[in-house]
């Protein structure tokens, strides 16, 4: 007892050693924000994340020979395991981080606003894929381990309110003293809060457009007026996240590049090798005389674009070289050609979709904003421009982002081709959504999938003849050759984890038909 | 802190050097009262001066340097009644010749319990079982834990991952916690250690292991008590004994006992077509035709296409593995001087692995000593351990799979062992020429991916025991268990020719790691024995203990190395990836124990401990651990029983205790963690994934045990039995909340488990005569844990490996997707396709054995001894991960059962379209039986991979021969012992034969990542001087 007494007494606070020396209990918001944004970047651009899923759903990519990569996607084999990360990852990563920001004291008003804007950005995507989602009781950690599900329309309504509040918070914080300024930790706008206001407005446009068919016009118009009146305007370019990606370091590359191009150790990624264009897409671009094709996909060494339609691989003659070296994979900057395995990289810097390991991940394109405004204008809502002007601005934004010029764009959209020029298009809605599909290609394809589910567009036939087998949905848009369904799914099923962890609240997957149970915004 | 410890150590060492005064010696012979034969190895001991000796081959003993005085001389030996005589030493030599009466072991046997407190076995209210050094080392192995298998009812030891440095898991009486530690406490020489320290011991240094079963037996240890304890005593020499020098060599050979059952009809390809570079076995039926194997090399390539006959290469996998050698040498010195004893050993163990180039070396030095200083006995136990391991890396190639994955992905027609040469660019083993497009040449993997580890452990303690007055003594001990380890894992760069389109190139990488662990334990115990009245005695102890554990692990990884073959962090490109993890825990407690005895047959024991821990909030870090027990020796209490001639001894006991399991360091606070990708342009932290209940408490275990110990016919037959039940409450559970709560786990106290079990041991001497004896001992145990409660609204929690804690069911239970079955138990199939329909996720059985039987036997004839251990475990299942994983390659036995032809699913039915709910026997609707069926619906129904885990094993078999003393006497006493033996381990294993087998579930669970099951055989030689 004496010995123990000596040992215990000789060190003061003998038991007081339970402060974790490895991880801090508290950190300032500037250390939380960039991680949240990096999660968002991964959620949009990462391996089998939203852009990847949208691209598979919207028939962008096939599968090269030697790979068995997209079995579930090509079969539209939905289950509680299919892309469960779409549900799980935001709640446990990005939304969790943004929720830390929205629980900060007043002097962190800017962080609070950014947190709320990014939450709205994610929650809309969750509604667009799942309908009812945990919202008002979500993100409460141990205090509520089984949150209830909110009605999707109510979530949408609340998101508009949250975005308005965020803009108000920016205004209020502008007039306060001793506020924490946002800086380089803001991997989107570098702390420019006016741009955050503009981004909030642009998300509102995405929300209002999506619900424009089911919400009464007065509501839409009054919200459009609010946007007009707050003075922040809209985003003027593409919105991208770049927390400072590093070219050749493990885990520090842009996640989209890392997935689809060249790894940190300069080896080609298998997803890159496995994932060529569909022949349909190649025919489509070529048929519309669209120069964007070469900025997105490479020309294989055979000298001509070669694609594989979804599920077609085993139906094609084996004499075709359908391996990674013979098909059109993503085009990359030529400076990466030496690392690039079986490819012919031809792009310059700042061209194309995949621009290098240090690029930003685009989470909203200027083109999308313009096409959304075009749709609102076409439907007669109170926006300032004409549908044609927004439509052409959308095409121009897409051309410019890929490395083409405004005059290349006007050369393109002045062709008298249906779904290319505004005036030559008898179905304006189809034209908008066809160009939205082409304009968001490889970037934010999830949005295009949601709009297809809402509108049934695009439905256009490709121009040109293909030897590649193809199957079509009733809309005319192609579907995978492997599926027995008549069209692609219109939503996802809830992840299995919710059935086992939150069974009281999650709607049962057995009661959901993912091919016919549309999200509320579809008419 | 460390400085204080060192100065205490110095005090012990300095005082140990003081010597003293005037004395004589006691000599004598001890013989068997009945036969008159010498009693060999008996203990002769004087308690008051803590001196003694052991009798030699002729029953003679000498205790030197006994100060002139009168003493109580105690003579004891297992199987004899202890005898105490009074003796006065008043001349240089006093002679004592005494006879001992055969007796029953349990009557006087001492049990080393918590904190080194020795108790007579008849007073202990709980079950324990001592395993001797001889038994552990009958078939020596790298780790002493292996020597306990099958010898103790309720003790289960499984081989973990890694063949060359075994990592056995040890469990007493099943699992009582869902997420917390289920391993027993380990105490070495009176000081708390840990399982790794036990595994690292040289088994030759172990004097005995006393297995204390149940929480009551260990309740004095507080939060470490819940799973019982292994109390290990190392050899110490005999005070006043003669110097013995011995050398022991054990050489064994390990070979693969088991390779997966694979189909032998089909080889490389897809959907019946031959594909030369495939790892899958969906090709055509074997036809013996010579075909190209691997890539069709381009024109002008300097290597000819590889042409191989298309037939099954029998034994290719088994022949890949080599026979490993395991050479173990121990040199030991043991003896004593008048006022002290010592034991010193040097051990060395060199092994080569089953996998070519795997190597392991282990070195141990053990130095134990005692020194008598008047009423004070000082002791030191010190053990230094050092090992080095050099094995193939665990993350091979682009996909980072283990070696076994690459081996089993060699299709049946590929001649695996012909790819040894991977360096020659012209060889077919070279990565550019290797046939398999998707998985790598295992020989290349061995040469280019290595994991190196060095571990050093210093473990020891110093103790001082002071016999204050006759009936009171105090003991203080201070121990250290310090480990430092370094590792280097590396992967070499590999480039590929352009024509290998699926292989780009593999960058080189290296990880350096270091870890340090230091545990300091101190304890202090005062014991006293008091006669309260003529009938009632009190045996009491008061004590305290303290523990401080500090650990630190760090690693640095450098990627994309530039200079080939140079595996240094400086060779990396980009920033190295670093990780440092430190932790500290502190606990202390005060405890007391009181045993009242009535007329030396009824013993009532109560113990209590107040425990303080650093891992909980300061206002709630103190818990009380009570235990109560009763032991009654009925043969001494009930006169009627004394008249039953065949009943020698009967003791019944009952006990109950409440103990708590601690939380780990830093578990009670939510923190921010630096995010993997950061720092980028800024630094970044994420809120930890696991939410934590701010009011979290320790897990509470209450256990109750009833048992009896009995002996018949003068101890020739023994029977022990016990029944126990446990209740675990406030289970510390990392429940899985909805991900929408922004957490992937929630650590809280939820759930209740209740368990019960019984065990019995029956043993005895079948034959006992002068030259020939035969003893047999059988033990049986059964235990079961049931989940009583989980959180509200939740009926089950996944605990990994498809195992679940399910309310109302046995824990742990295996669950998988199953077939849909009709009420006759027939599998329901789809009326169109004939394919079985997927049912729900159902329970498939428990994963811990329901019944465990151990059988030990030994036959002695003069110097010859034959001994063996068998075990049988049954009533449990396991998930054959390996078979599941190999379904996609068409390698499984099942996938060829229909010869890839359509077949009607056996014992199936389909729903009557006209009468829904009615089922018609299916005799005609055949399913396709092709690749898409086996890799699709068949593979989807995971019930197909549940296997009966029953196994009957011949664990050990040993034949030892000791040269007779007459022969040795010709060496004039130079050589005192020579023994030679042949030993075998896991020689025979019987498992159910009606199912295909991938692995042995006891070797890491049966997955493709687990250790290769082995059997071993060899010899040992022991010479003593």
Token pair 């001990």: residue: B477
**Residues of A in Cβ contact (< 8 Å) with B746:** 141-142, 145
Surface of A (488-507) touching B: CB under 8 A = 495, 497-498, 500-506
Compare CB distances from A20 to B587, B666, B740 and report the shortest one's residue: B666
Tell me the average pLDDT across B360-384: 94
**Residues of A in Cβ contact (< 8 Å) with B522:** 3-4, 7
The Cα B129–Cα B210 span in angstroms is 6
A-B C-beta contacts closer than 8 Å = 259
Provide the percentage of residues in chain B whose pLDDT is more than 90. Answer: 62
When scoring A6, A16, A17 by the number of chain B Cβ atoms within 10 A, the one with the most, hence best to mutate, is A17
CATH topology of domain A1-19+28-48+83-236+490-523: 1.25.40
Q: Which residue of A has its CA nearest to B674?
A: A23
Surface of A (317-336) touching B: CB under 8 A = 323-325
Q: Hey, are the CB atoms on B680 and A144 less than 8 Å from each other?
A: no
Q: Hey, are the CB atoms on A4 and B544 less than 8 Å from each other?
A: yes
The Cα A44–Cα B87 span in angstroms is 90
Q: Hey, are the CB atoms on B686 and A243 less than 8 Å from each other?
A: no
Tell me the average pLDDT across B259-281: 92
Inform me whether the pLDDT recorded for B597 exceeds 90.
Answer: yes
Q: Hey, are the CB atoms on B669 and A26 less than 8 Å from each other?
A: no
The Cα B234–Cα B239 span in angstroms is 15
**Residues of A in Cβ contact (< 8 Å) with B740:** 91, 133-134, 138-139, 147, 498, 502
Q: Hey, are the CB atoms on A142 and B586 less than 8 Å from each other?
A: no
B674: contact with A, CB 8 A cutoff: yes
| Residue B632: band (very low, low, confident or very high) from pLDDT cuts 50, 70, 90 | very high
Written as six digits, the tokens of B593 are 């124990």
Is the fold of A1-19+28-48+83-236+490-523 the same as that of A277-459? yes
Q: How much is the ipTM here?
A: 0.94
Question: Which of B830, B836, B822 minimizes the C-alpha distance to B919?
Answer: B822
The Cα A366–Cα A439 span in angstroms is 10
A185: contact with B, CB 8 A cutoff: yes
Q: Which residues contact A9 (CB under 8 A, 6 or more apart)?
A: none
- Candidates 3.40.50.300, 1.25.40.390, 3.40.50.2300, 1.20.1250.20; correct CATH number of A277-459? 1.25.40.390
Compare CB distances from B687 to A14, A22, A100 and report the shortest one's residue: A100
Tell me the average pLDDT across B256-284: 92
Annotate B805-850 with DSSP letters as a single string: EEBTSEESEEEEEEE-B-TTSPEEB-TTT-PBPEEEEEEEEESS-S
**Residues of A in Cβ contact (< 8 Å) with B616:** 18
| Residue B40: band (very low, low, confident or very high) from pLDDT cuts 50, 70, 90 | confident
Q: Which residue of B has its CA nearest to A253?
A: B677
The Cα B747–Cα B742 span in angstroms is 14
Nearest-neighbour CA in chain B from A137: distance (Å): 8
Q: Hey, are the CB atoms on A273 and B437 less than 8 Å from each other?
A: no
B688: contact with A, CB 8 A cutoff: yes
The Cα A511–Cα B244 span in angstroms is 80
Inform me whether the pLDDT recorded for B527 exceeds 60.
Answer: yes
Q: Which residue of B has its CA nearest to A265?
A: B560
A24: contact with B, CB 8 A cutoff: yes
The Cα B76–Cα B52 span in angstroms is 11
pLDDT in tens, B755-769: 999 999 999 988 887
Compare CB distances from B671 to A20, A145, A498 and report the shortest one's residue: A20
What is residue B248's three-state secondary structure? Answer: strand
Q: Hey, are the CB atoms on A97 and B693 less than 8 Å from each other?
A: no
H/E run at residue B985: strand B977-990
The Cα B278–Cα B699 span in angstroms is 52
Compare CB distances from A31 to B613, B665, B683 and report the shortest one's residue: B683
Q: Which residue of B has its CA nearest to A88?
A: B739
Q: Which residues contact B732 (CB under 8 A, 6 or more apart)?
A: B177, B179, B180, B661, B663, B696, B698, B699, B747, B748, B749
Q: Hey, are the CB atoms on A251 and B674 less than 8 Å from each other?
A: no
Give the pLDDT score at A339: 66
| Cβ–Cβ under 8 Å, residues B875 and B850 | yes
Inform me whether the pLDDT recorded for B47 exceeds 80.
Answer: no
| Residue B312: band (very low, low, confident or very high) from pLDDT cuts 50, 70, 90 | very high
Surface of A (102-141) touching B: CB under 8 A = 133-134, 138-141
Inform me whether the pLDDT recorded for B9 exceeds 60.
Answer: no
| Cβ–Cβ under 8 Å, residues B430 and B308 | no
Give the pLDDT score at B13: 42
Q: Hey, are the CB atoms on A4 and B746 less than 8 Å from each other?
A: no
Tell me the average pLDDT across B181-197: 91
Q: Hey, are the CB atoms on A342 and B501 less than 8 Å from each other?
A: yes
pTM (2 d.p.): 0.86
Q: Hey, are the CB atoms on B741 and A325 less than 8 Å from each other?
A: no
When scoring B278, B551, B742 by the number of chain A Cβ atoms within 10 A, the one with the most, hence best to mutate, is B742
Is omega for the bond preceding A458 within 30 degrees of 0, making it cis? yes
Nearest-neighbour CA in chain A from B1: distance (Å): 8
pLDDT in tens, A100-123: 999 999 999 999 999 999 999 999
Q: Which residue of A has its CA nearest to B668?
A: A18
| Cβ–Cβ under 8 Å, residues B397 and B460 | no
Compare CB distances from B504 to A91, A252, A341 and report the shortest one's residue: A341
Q: Hey, are the CB atoms on A4 and B689 less than 8 Å from each other?
A: no
Annotate A175-222 with DSSP letters as a single string: T-SSPPPP-TT-TTTTT-HHHHHHHHHHHHHHHHHHTTTTS-HHHHHH
pLDDT in tens, B651-678: 999 999 999 998 999 999 999 999 988 9
How buried is B126 (Cβ within 10 angstroms: 0-12 exposed, 13-18 middle, 19+ buried)?
buried
CA distances (Å), origin B159, targets B133, B162, B401, B883, B1005 = 21, 8, 21, 20, 9
| Cβ–Cβ under 8 Å, residues B114 and B229 | yes
Surface of B (560-589) touching A: CB under 8 A = 560, 573-575, 577, 580-588
Nearest-neighbour CA in chain A from B146: distance (Å): 35
In this prediction, the residues of chain A whose per-residue pLDDT falls under 70 are 1-12, 317-320, 338-343, 461-467
Inform me whether the pLDDT recorded for B3 exceeds 70.
Answer: no
Q: Hey, are the CB atoms on A96 and B742 less than 8 Å from each other?
A: yes
Compare CB distances from A145 to B398, B544, B738 and report the shortest one's residue: B738
Task: Report helix angle A445-455 to A428-439, nearest 10.
Answer: 160
Domain boundaries, chain A: 1-19+28-48+83-236+490-523, 277-459
Give the pLDDT score at A413: 97
Least confident of A72-81, B81-90, B432-441: B81-90
Task: Report helix angle A94-101 to A33-45, nearest 10.
Answer: 150
Task: Report helix angle A85-92 to A33-45, nearest 10.
Answer: 170
Written as six digits, the tokens of B614 are 């650093």
Give the pLDDT score at A462: 55
B543: contact with A, CB 8 A cutoff: yes
Please give the DSSP secondary-structure letter assigned to residue A316: S
The Cα B266–Cα B281 span in angstroms is 6
Nearest-neighbour CA in chain B from A4: distance (Å): 6
Compare CB distances from B505 to A23, A35, A267 and report the shortest one's residue: A267
Q: For the CA atoms of chain A, what is the radius of gyration? A: 24
Q: Hey, are the CB atoms on B501 and A502 less than 8 Å from each other?
A: no
When scoring B586, B740, B841 by the number of chain A Cβ atoms within 10 A, the one with the most, hence best to mutate, is B740
| Residue B12: band (very low, low, confident or very high) from pLDDT cuts 50, 70, 90 | very low
pLDDT in tens, B851-907: 999 999 999 998 899 999 999 999 999 999 889 989 999 999 999 999 999 999 999
A144: contact with B, CB 8 A cutoff: yes
CA distances (Å), origin B715, targets A13, B82, B105, B130 = 55, 14, 7, 17
């Amino acid at each position: 007892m004496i010995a123990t007494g000596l040992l215990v007494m000789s060190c003061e606070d003998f038991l007081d050693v339970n402060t974790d020396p490895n991880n801090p209990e508290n950190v300032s918001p500037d250390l939380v924000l960039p991680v949240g944004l990096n999660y968002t970047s991964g959620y949009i651009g990462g391996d089998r994340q939203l852009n990847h899923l949208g691209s598979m759903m919207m028939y962008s990519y096939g599968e090269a020979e030697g790979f068995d990569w997209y079995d579930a996607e090509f079969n539209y084999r939905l289950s509680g395991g299919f892309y469960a990360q779409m549900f799980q990852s935001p709640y446990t990563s990005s939304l969790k981080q943004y929720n830390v920001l929205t629980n900060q004291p007043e002097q962190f008003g800017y962080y609070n606003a950014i947190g709320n804007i990014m939450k709205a950005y994610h929650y809309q995507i969750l509604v667009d894929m799942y309908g009812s989602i945990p919202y008002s009781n979500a993100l409460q950690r141990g205090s509520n381990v089984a949150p209830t599900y909110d009605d999707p329309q109510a979530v949408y309504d609340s998101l508009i309110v949250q975005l308005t509040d965020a803009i108000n918070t920016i205004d209020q914080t502008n007039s306060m003293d001793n506020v924490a300024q946002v800086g380089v930790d803001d991997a989107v706008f570098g702390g420019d809060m006016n741009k955050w206001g503009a981004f909030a407005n642009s998300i509102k446009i995405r929300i209002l457009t999506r619900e424009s068919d089911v919400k009464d016009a007065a509501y839409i118009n009054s919200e459009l007026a609010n946007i007009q009146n707050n003075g922040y305007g809209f985003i003027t370019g593409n919105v991208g996240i770049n927390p400072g990606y590093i070219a050749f370091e493990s885990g520090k590359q842009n996640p989209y590049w890392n997935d689809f191009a060249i790894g940190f150790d300069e080896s080609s990624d298998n997803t890159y090798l496995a994932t060529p264009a569909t022949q349909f897409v190649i025919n489509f671009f070529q048929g519309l005389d669209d120069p964007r094709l070469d900025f997105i996909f490479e020309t294989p060494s055979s000298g001509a674009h070669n694609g594989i339609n979804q599920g077609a691989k085993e139906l094609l003659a084996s004499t075709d070289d359908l391996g990674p070296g013979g098909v059109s994979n993503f085009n990359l900057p030529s400076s990466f050609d030496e690392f690039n395995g079986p490819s012919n990289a031809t792009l310059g810097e700042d061209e194309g979709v995949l621009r290098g390991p240090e690029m930003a991940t685009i989470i909203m394109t200027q083109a999308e904003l313009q096409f959304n405004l075009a749709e609102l204008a076409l439907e007669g809502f109170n926006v300032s421009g004409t549908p044609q002007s927004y439509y052409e601005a959308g095409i121009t934004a897409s051309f410019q982002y890929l490395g083409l010029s405004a005059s290349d764009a006007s050369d393109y959209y002045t062709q008298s081709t249906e779904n290319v020029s505004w005036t030559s298009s008898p179905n304006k809605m189809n034209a908008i959504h066809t160009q939205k599909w082409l304009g968001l290609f490889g970037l934010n394809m999830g949005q295009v999938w949601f709009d297809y589910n809402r509108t049934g567009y695009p439905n256009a036939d490709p121009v040109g003849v293909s030897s590649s087998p193809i199957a079509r949905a009733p809309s005319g848009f192609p579907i995978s050759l492997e599926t027995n369904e008549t069209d692609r799914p219109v939503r996802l099923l809830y992840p299995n984890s919710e059935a086992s962890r939150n069974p009281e609240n999650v709607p049962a997957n057995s009661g959901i038909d993912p091919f016919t149970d549309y999200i509320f915004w579809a008419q | 802190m460390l400085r204080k410890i060192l100065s205490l150590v110095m005090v012990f060492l300095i005082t140990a050097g003081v010597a003293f005064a005037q004395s004589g010696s006691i000599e004598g012979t001890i013989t068997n009262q009945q036969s008159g034969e010498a009693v060999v190895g008996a203990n002769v001991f004087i308690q008051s001066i803590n001196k003694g000796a052991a009798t030699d081959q002729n029953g003679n003993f000498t205790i030197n340097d006994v100060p002139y005085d009168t003493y109580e001389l105690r003579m004891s030996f297992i199987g004899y009644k202890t005898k105490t005589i009074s003796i006065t030493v008043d001349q240089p030599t006093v002679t004592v010749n005494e006879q001992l009466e055969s007796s029953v072991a349990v009557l006087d046997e001492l049990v080393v319990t918590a904190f080194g407190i020795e108790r007579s076995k008849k007073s202990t209210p709980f079950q324990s079982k001592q395993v001797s050094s001889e038994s552990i080392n009958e078939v020596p192995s790298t780790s002493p834990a292996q020597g306990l298998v099958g010898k103790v009812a309720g003790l289960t030891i499984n081989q973990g991952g890694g063949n060359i440095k075994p990592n056995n898991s040890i469990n007493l009486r099943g699992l009582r916690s869902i997420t917390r530690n289920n391993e027993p406490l380990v105490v070495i020489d009176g000081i708390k250690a840990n399982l790794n320290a036990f595994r690292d011991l040289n088994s030759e240094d172990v004097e005995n292991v006393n297995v204390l079963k149940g929480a009551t037996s260990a309740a004095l240890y507080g939060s470490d008590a819940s799973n019982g304890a292994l109390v290990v005593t190392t050899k110490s020499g005999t005070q006043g004994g003669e110097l013995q020098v011995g050398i022991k060599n054990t050489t064994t050979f390990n070979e693969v006992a088991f390779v997966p059952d694979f189909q032998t009809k089909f080889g490389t390809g897809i959907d019946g077509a031959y594909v030369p570079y495939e790892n899958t076995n969906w090709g055509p039926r074997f036809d013996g035709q010579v075909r190209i194997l691997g890539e069709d090399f381009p024109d002008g390539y300097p290597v000819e296409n590889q042409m191989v006959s298309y037939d099954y290469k029998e034994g290719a996998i088994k022949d890949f593995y080599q026979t490993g050698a395991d050479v173990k040498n121990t040199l030991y010195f043991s003896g004593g001087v008048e006022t002290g004893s010592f034991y010193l050993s040097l051990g060395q163990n060199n092994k080569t692995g089953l996998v070519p180039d795997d190597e392991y070396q282990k070195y141990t030095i053990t130095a134990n000593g005692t020194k008598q200083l008047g009423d004070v006995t000082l002791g030191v136990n010190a053990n230094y351990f050092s090992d080095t391991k050099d094995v193939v890396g665990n993350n091979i190639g682009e996909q980072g799979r283990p070696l076994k994955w690459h081996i089993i992905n060699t299709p049946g027609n590929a001649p695996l062992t012909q790819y040894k040469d991977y360096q020659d660019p012209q060889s077919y083993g070279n990565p550019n020429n290797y046939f398999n497009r998707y998985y790598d040449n295992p020989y290349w993997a061995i040469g280019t991916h290595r994991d190196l580890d060095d571990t050093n452990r210093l473990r020891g303690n110093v103790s001082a025991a002071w016999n204050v007055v006759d009936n009171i003594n105090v003991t203080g001990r201070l121990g250290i268990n310090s480990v430092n380890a370094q590792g280097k894992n590396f992967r070499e760069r590999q480039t590929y020719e352009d024509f290998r389109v699926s292989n780009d190139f593999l960058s080189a990488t290296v990880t350096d790691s270091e870890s340090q662990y230091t545990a300091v334990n101190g304890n202090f115990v005062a014991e006293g024995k008091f006669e309260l009245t003529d009938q009632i005695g009190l045996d009491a102890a008061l004590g305290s203990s303290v523990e401080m554990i500090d650990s630190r692990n760090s690693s640095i990884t450098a990627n994309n190395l530039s200079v080939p073959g140079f595996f240094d962090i400086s060779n990396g490109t980009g920033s190295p990836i670093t990780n440092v993890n430190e932790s500290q825990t502190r606990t202390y407690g005060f405890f007391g124990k009181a045993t009242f005895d009535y007329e030396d047959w009824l013993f009532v024991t109560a113990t209590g401990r107040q425990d303080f821990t650093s891992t909980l909030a300061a206002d709630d870090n103190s818990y009380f651990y009570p235990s109560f027990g009763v032991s009654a020796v009925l043969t001494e209490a009930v006169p009627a029983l004394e008249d039953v001639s065949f009943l020698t001894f009967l003791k019944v006991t009952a006990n109950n205790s409440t103990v708590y399991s601690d939380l780990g360091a830093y578990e009670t606070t939510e923190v921010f963690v630096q995010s993997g990708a950061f720092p980028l342009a800024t630094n970044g932290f994420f809120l930890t994934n696991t939410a934590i209940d701010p009011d979290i408490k320790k897990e509470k275990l209450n256990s109750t045990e009833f048992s009896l110990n009995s002996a018949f016919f003068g101890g020739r037959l023994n029977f022990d039995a016990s029944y126990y039940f446990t209740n675990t409450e406030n289970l510390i559970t990392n429940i899985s909340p909805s991900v929408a709560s922004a957490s992937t786990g929630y650590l809280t106290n939820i759930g209740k488990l209740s368990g019960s079990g019984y065990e019995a041991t029956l043993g005895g001497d079948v034959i006992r005569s002068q030259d020939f004896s035969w003893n047999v001992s059988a033990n049986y145990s059964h235990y079961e844990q049931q989940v009583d409660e989980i959180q509200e609204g939740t009926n089950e929690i996944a605990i990994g490996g498809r195992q679940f804690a399910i309310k109302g069911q046995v824990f742990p239970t295996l669950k998988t997707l199953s077939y849909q079955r009709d009420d006759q138990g027939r599998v329901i199939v789809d009326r169109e396709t004939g394919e079985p329909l997927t049912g729900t996720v159902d329970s498939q059985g428990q994963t811990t054995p329901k019944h465990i039987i151990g059988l030990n036997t030994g036959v002695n004839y003069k110097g010859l001894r034959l001994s063996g251990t068998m075990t049988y475990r049954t009533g449990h299942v396991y998930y054959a991960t390996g078979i599941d994983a190999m379904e996609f390659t068409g390698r499984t036995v099942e996938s060829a059962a229909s010869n890839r032809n359509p077949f009607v699913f056996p014992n199936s039915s389909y729903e009557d379209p006209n009468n829904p709910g009615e089922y018609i026997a299916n005799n005609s609707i055949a399913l396709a039986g092709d690749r898409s069926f086996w890799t699709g619906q068949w593979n989807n129904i995971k019930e197909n991979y549940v296997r009966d885990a029953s196994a009957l094993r011949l664990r050990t078999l040993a034949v030892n021969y000791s040269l007779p003393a007459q022969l040795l006497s010709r060496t004039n006493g130079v050589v005192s012992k020579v023994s030679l033996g042949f030993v075998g381990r896991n020689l025979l294993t019987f498992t159910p034969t009606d199912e295909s087998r991938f692995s042995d579930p006891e070797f890491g669970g049966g997955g493709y990542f687990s250790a290769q099951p082995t059997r071993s055989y060899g010899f040992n030689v022991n010479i003593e001087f």
